[in-house]
């Protein structure tokens, strides 16, 4: 790897230096480096008002670097070698931080309770950046190409909230079988969230409702009664120590069986999907668009959400 980087650094033209003269960039080269066509790249650059060209780098170079870094997940040392033979890791770090802050937009200035007004100093500023990315910049990826629609950065708004509509349910109390409230008392109506909770060494469906019956004083568990039939269930991990290999392959709700499709876990500032295909687990990474067998090094990474489908239905990958 070092030899390869030394070779790249020794050349007069790096992959990013070509972006200084954008007119000479081909559409295929632009797509290879940034994941966007030249037209989409230009549209994106129009959102960024605060970056000007300098002697060391142009606005287009900075955007190309940022897009490449987002897509490939390369470290800053590698990016420095790719940028030019004189660029340092510290400069790359500053470039990336600069464009993260200056994807600018109204409201990107934080107003803390302390009275400070700093750029990018609080969590809600990062949330504002995410909102901007989804509502303004992601519009470039709305077109369907070869039957594929990009939902990068919008898992909740494009997927989760719609799926939740199909798994609305009431929670009915289960206590002593002789109690008048048993299977008669609705604890919660129109609930959308279903959880996994780890009890001992077993991962079970759970409502996260813990109480005792006011009548019989027994510990209360719940029965999930779906409002309408559904083919899919989205289940959140309520504990931070529910791991991929511990998830059940099949769950049962109202005498219907649902099979495991996939789950997600968080690593390296993004989520990785894990799919069960023909009883083998595969990692799916959206950044480098790779699919590989599940690596045991992720055995102790906590899961976030999992997707199940009705057993009688067939999922074709």
Cβ neighbour number for residue 162 with a 10 Å cutoff: 10
The mean per-residue pLDDT over the stretch 203-230 comes to 85
Provide the pLDDT confidence category of residue 55 given band limits of 50, 70 and 90: low
269 CB-contact burial (10 Å; exposed 0-12 / middle 13-18 / buried 19+)? exposed
Residue 268 pLDDT grade (very low, low, confident, very high; cuts 50, 70, 90): low
Give mean pLDDT, residues 7-26.
Answer: 65
Whether 106 shows a pLDDT value over 50: the answer reads no
Architecture of domain 155-310: Sandwich (2.60)
| Lowest-pLDDT range of 28-32, 111-115, 306-310 | 111-115
Q: What residues form DSSP beta bridges with 210?
A: none
On whether the CB atoms of residues 184 and 159 are closer than 8 A, the answer is no
Comparing C-alpha atoms, which of 281, 287, 311 is closest to residue 299?
A: 281
Task: Give per-residue pLDDT as tens, 184-208.
Answer: 888 888 888 888 988 888 898 887 6
β-pair type (250-253, 256-267): antiparallel
Identify whether the C-beta of residue 105 lies closer than 8 Å to the C-beta of residue 47.
Answer: yes
Tell me which DSSP letter residue 60 carries: H
Domain boundaries, the chain: 2-104, 106-153, 155-310
Pairing of strands 290-293, 280-285: antiparallel
| Range scoring the smallest mean pLDDT among 42-51, 209-218, 258-267 | 42-51
Helix 59-72 crosses helix 38-45 at what angle (to 10 degrees)? 110
124 vs 135: CA distance, rounded Å: 16
């Amino acid at each position: 790897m070092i030899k390869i980087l030394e070779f790249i650094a020794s050349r007069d033209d790096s992959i990013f230096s070509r972006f200084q003269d954008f007119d000479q960039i081909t559409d295929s080269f632009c797509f290879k480096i940034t994941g966007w066509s030249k037209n989409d790249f230009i549209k994106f650059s129009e959102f960024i008002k605060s970056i000007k060209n300098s002697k060391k780098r142009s606005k287009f170079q900075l955007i190309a670097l940022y897009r490449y870094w987002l897509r490939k997940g390369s470290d800053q040392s590698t990016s420095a070698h790719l940028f030019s033979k004189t660029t340092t890791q510290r400069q790359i770090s500053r470039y990336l931080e600069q464009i993260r802050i200056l994807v600018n937009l109204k409201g990107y200035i934080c107003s803390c309770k302390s009275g400070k007004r700093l750029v990018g100093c609080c969590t809600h500023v990062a949330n504002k950046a995410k909102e901007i990315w989804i509502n303004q910049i992601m519009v470039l990826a709305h077109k369907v190409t070869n039957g594929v629609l990009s939902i990068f950065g919008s898992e909740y708004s494009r997927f989760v909230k719609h799926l939740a509509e199909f798994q609305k349910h009431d929670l009915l109390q289960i206590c002593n079988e002789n109690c008048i409230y048993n299977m008669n008392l609705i604890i919660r109506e129109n609930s959308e969230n279903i959880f996994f909770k780890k009890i001992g060494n077993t991962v079970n469906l759970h409502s996260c409702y813990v109480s005792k019956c006011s009548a019989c004083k027994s510990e209360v568990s719940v029965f999930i009664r779906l409002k309408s039939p559904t083919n899919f269930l989205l289940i959140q991990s309520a504990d931070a120590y529910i791991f991929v290999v511990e998830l059940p392959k099949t769950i049962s709700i109202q005498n219907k069986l649902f099979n495991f499709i996939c789950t997600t876990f968080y690593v390296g500032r993004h989520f990785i999907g894990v799919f069960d295909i023909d009883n083998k687990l595969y990692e799916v990474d959206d950044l480098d668009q790779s699919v590989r067998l599940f690596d045991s090094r992720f055995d102790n990474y906590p899961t976030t959400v999992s997707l199940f489908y009705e057993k009688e239905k067939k999922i074709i990958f």
